[in-house]
Chains A and B, each alone.
Chain A
Amino acid sequence: MRKLFKFHGGVHPPTHKTESSRTPIVQAAMPSKLVIPLHQHVGNRAVPTVQVGERVLKGQIIGRPEGRLSSAVHASTSGTVSAVDMQVVAHFSGLPDLCVTIIPDGKDEWIAHSGMDYKQTPHSELRQRLREAGIVGLGGAVFPSDMKSYSHKHKIKTLVLNGAECEPYITCDDLLMRERANEILRGAEVLRELLYAEEVLIGIEDNKPEAIAAMRQAVADDGHARMEVIAVPTLYPGGGAKQLIRVLTGIEVAAGVRSTEKGVQCFNVATAYCAWRAITFGEPLLSRIVTVTGNVERAQNFEVLLGTPVDELVAQAGSKADTYKHIMGGPMMGVDLPSGAVGVTKATNCIIEASQAMFPPPQAAMPCIRCARCAAVCPAELQPQDMYWFAKGKDFGKTQEFHLFDCIECGACAYVCPSHIPLVQYYRFAKSEIWQREQEQQAAEVARERHEFHMLRIEREKQEKAERLAQKEKAALAAKPAAPTPLPVAADPNADPENTLQMRIDSAVAHSNMQMRIDAAAARAKEQVATEQPKNTDALTPQQQAEIAEIEARRAKFHEIASHPGADDESPKQ
């Protein structure tokens, strides 16, 4: 028996898993449309590569990764692009984001694709494949997997495969492990190869005996070496990557530290499965398993095309009439969906249909009685009541002293709080407030520097002008026969009125010429403005938005130019 470790705290919310785990995974019906957000992953938003009206094939890239930390987005089936625009997405804010809408043609016609043998392929190519297949962490964190499959020059001892699934209600990983254990394990081998990891530990909470048995069987059948399926105690949030790593290896990875530095890396089981499909068959990430449960007739797991509107999905499970909202994810860390129209994304592991009876609106909060129940369950070993106290008073410096940024927002504290204080929301509020302030501070810092530089430049230009003037004067003086010695203070244009008079007249003429030219141009421009339609900036069409995006891109280029000043534009700091 392997020695397991403990993490501090944790809670035992009612699991509600059996409702959805009794029946096998069902293929969801082809939806009437797909709303596919281009930002389904941590990092930069993918850049749309398709136009409205274009026919796309299943597996075709519709959003190309942008920058180092990003991932591709694909058409989940064949069809026609009906819109590339802002749509409400599954996000806490309820705000819209750029999405590609596809009307499926029902043919489900694949783009040409082919797999590779991971043993024969260089690692860089494998990672490129993961990136282009849009493989991201499917446990909910959606971190691009190619960026996680580097060992970062550290010796990786353990690859942890996360099948813990600690959140109540969710059973998608449970079912995936029961039904597709072999492919999960092959995916783990690919990841092990990429990380040069010695051993693979698969952590599954002990409330999933079928999944544990299936995975053990698969390990034995395929003869995977140094791979072990370990039943871990059921305890929320034991499925958090850091908590699971702690339980399996005893290693604690602090906030802001890469686990590879400690010689471990952790992937979700579904991620391993999709990585396997992407490498071996060239299938990008087009669908995922989603648990639909809660206030429904038939709670079960569906294999769902990404982009499927939530409304259409829950209808297949028989969502009941008194459902008043959809929760994406689990009840502990999930998102209260802004609308049923949002598309299923790579992060959508579960949709809980909520009725008033199951999920009553939050109760009124009482004052904190300092009972420290929150501290007792906090897996990050924080003092939630203190962070709350300072977040409530908006004393953000203090919240950071109490390690606000070590909080993983697991919600265990708010779950047990007898005063029903929305603790996590206070922490999220404080975090986003601090982030914004940091950004503003940085912007102010930049502005200060640029202003100083601006002043310096003006100063220098003044000097240069004066010098040029002096030069001219000198030249003029030298041209005169029997010129007297140059004046000592030649730099001052007013020093010798006789000599500079002509120049001043010259410059005045030049200026008035310039002024005339400006006026003329201005008049022309005004005409132009008058003939143009007034610009309505409120209701932008997608095309206009695309234009704006183009301008932004141009600006970005200018920005780049501006931030790499030429040789003579020395920064005042140097």
Chain B
Amino acid sequence: MISALLVMIGISLLLGAVLGYSAIKFKVEGNPLVEKIDAVLPQTQCGQCGYPGCMPYAEAIAKGEADINLCPPGGEEGIRKLAELLGVDFKPFGEGAGPRAKAVAFIDENTCIGCTLCLQACPVDAIVGAAKQMHTIIASECTGCELCLAPCPVDCISMQTIPQHIGNWKWQYPTHSIVQVAAR
């Protein structure tokens, strides 16, 4: 039995060596860490992480000042990517935090008084309009950060979730696997 175990251990060591070698050999040199982190963040620029935008959050993560589970728009997938990038463990969102359904801001154009306050708040300049003119949101550029909601003096901006339609529908992960059948 002992010698059998030794053989097994020997084999696993060999495999480990091969894996280790390939890890070194195929390693890719890339851009600095902050940029890599920023590339993973969803760029919603919403500040929900407690930093004034994605880049500052990326910098904070790189410096080790911030946790990786603070960005709700990125979702768990985002945390997973960060964990992988930084070589740390996955960490779920804290109590109550977590991603919401994707939404875009919508200005009720009948109510808008054209005060331009929302325009200044928008981090990605997705609101167009001039002083005293009706404002509107470029839906395709809106990141859903909700930063324009608070400044509006007439509360005419609302978030509208993006409904599922044929254009954005996705195939689901197959579910009739054997484990599912057993669970039924």
Additional A-B contact list (13), CB under 8 Å, known A364-B178, A429-B170, A443-B43? A93-B166, A432-B169, A432-B171, A436-B168, A440-B42, A446-B141, A448-B43, A529-B111, A551-B136, A555-B137, A555-B140, A558-B128, A562-B125
List the 10 closest A-B pairs by CB distance, nearest first.
A447-B43, A521-B113, A450-B124, A444-B43, A93-B169, A525-B154, A428-B171, A364-B181, A522-B153, A432-B170
CB of B72 closer than 8 Å to a CB of A:
no
CB of A366 closer than 8 Å to a CB of B:
yes
A559–B178 touching, CB < 8 Å: no
Interface mask (A541-574 → B, CB under 8 Å = 1, otherwise 0): 0000000000110110011011000000000000
Contact of B177 among A365, A445, A529 (CB under 8 A): A365
23 contacts between A and B (CB under 8 A): A92-B169, A95-B164, A95-B166, A96-B166, A429-B170, A429-B171, A432-B170, A433-B171, A444-B41, A444-B42, A444-B43, A445-B43, A521-B154, A522-B115, A522-B153, A528-B110, A528-B111, A529-B154, A552-B139, A558-B128, A558-B136, A559-B140, A561-B128
CB-CB < 8 A to A366: which residues of B?
178
Q: Which residue on A lies nearest to B165, using beta carbons?
A: A95
B124–A526 touching, CB < 8 Å: no
CB of B156 closer than 8 Å to a CB of A:
yes
Bound complex: CA of A440 vs CA of B74, how far in Å? 10
CB of A431 closer than 8 Å to a CB of B:
yes
B111–A525 touching, CB < 8 Å: yes
Interface mask (A452-484 → B, CB under 8 Å = 1, otherwise 0): 011001000000000000000000000000000
CB of B44 closer than 8 Å to a CB of A:
yes
CB-CB < 8 A to A91: which residues of B?
166
CB-CB < 8 A to B172: which residues of A?
429
Contact of B169 among A95, A522, A535 (CB under 8 A): A95
Q: Chain B at the A interface: mostly helix, strand, loop or mixed?
A: loop
Within 8 A of B (CB), among A511-554: 518-519, 521-522, 524-526, 528-529, 532, 535, 537, 551-552, 554
CB-CB < 8 A to A493: which residues of B?
none
CB of A426 closer than 8 Å to a CB of B:
yes
B125–A450 touching, CB < 8 Å: yes
List the interface of chain A (C-beta within 8 A of B).
Answer: 39, 89, 91-93, 95-97, 362, 364-367, 422, 425-426, 428-429, 431-433, 436, 440, 443-448, 450-451, 453-454, 457, 518-519, 521-522, 524-526, 528-529, 532, 535, 537, 551-552, 554-555, 558-559, 561-562
B43–A451 touching, CB < 8 Å: yes
A444-B43, A451-B124 known; A89+B178 contact, CB < 8 A: no
Contact of A558 among B42, B53, B138, B164 (CB under 8 A): B138
CB-CB < 8 A to A555: which residues of B?
136-140
A562–B166 touching, CB < 8 Å: no
Bound complex: CA of A537 vs CA of B108, how far in Å? 12
Interface size bucket, B side? 35 or more
Bound complex: CA of A91 vs CA of B169, how far in Å? 10
Q: Which residue on A lies nearest to B128, using beta carbons?
A: A558
Q: Which residue on B lies nearest to A552, using beta carbons?
A: B139
A444-B43, A451-B43, A451-B123 known; A554+B136 contact, CB < 8 A: yes
Bound complex: CA of A451 vs CA of B46, how far in Å? 11
CB-CB < 8 A to B111: which residues of A?
525, 528-529
B176–A422 touching, CB < 8 Å: yes
Bound complex: CA of A425 vs CA of B176, how far in Å? 11
Contact of A537 among B44, B113, B160, B168 (CB under 8 A): B160
CB-CB < 8 A to A445: which residues of B?
43
A518–B115 touching, CB < 8 Å: yes
Interface mask (B110-123 → A, CB under 8 Å = 1, otherwise 0): 11110100000011
The interface centre, meaning the residue of B54, B124, B136, B164 with most chain A CB atoms within 10 A of its CB, is B124
Bound complex: CA of A97 vs CA of B164, how far in Å? 11
CB of B26 closer than 8 Å to a CB of A:
no
A450–B126 touching, CB < 8 Å: yes
CB-CB < 8 A to B178: which residues of A?
364-367
Contact of A518 among B42, B113, B128 (CB under 8 A): B113
A97-B166, A440-B42 known; A447+B174 contact, CB < 8 A: no
CB of B38 closer than 8 Å to a CB of A:
yes
CB-CB < 8 A to A457: which residues of B?
125
Bound complex: CA of A124 vs CA of B77, how far in Å? 49
Q: Which residue on B lies nearest to A441, using beta carbons?
A: B39
CB of B143 closer than 8 Å to a CB of A:
yes
B153–A518 touching, CB < 8 Å: yes
CB-CB < 8 A to B170: which residues of A?
429, 432-433, 436
A429–B166 touching, CB < 8 Å: no
A404 smallest CB distance to B (angstroms): 13
B160–A364 touching, CB < 8 Å: no
Bound complex: CA of A429 vs CA of B175, how far in Å? 11
Bound complex: CA of A454 vs CA of B141, how far in Å? 13
A521–B115 touching, CB < 8 Å: yes
Bound complex: CA of A92 vs CA of B112, how far in Å? 41
Within 8 A of A (CB), among B59-97: none
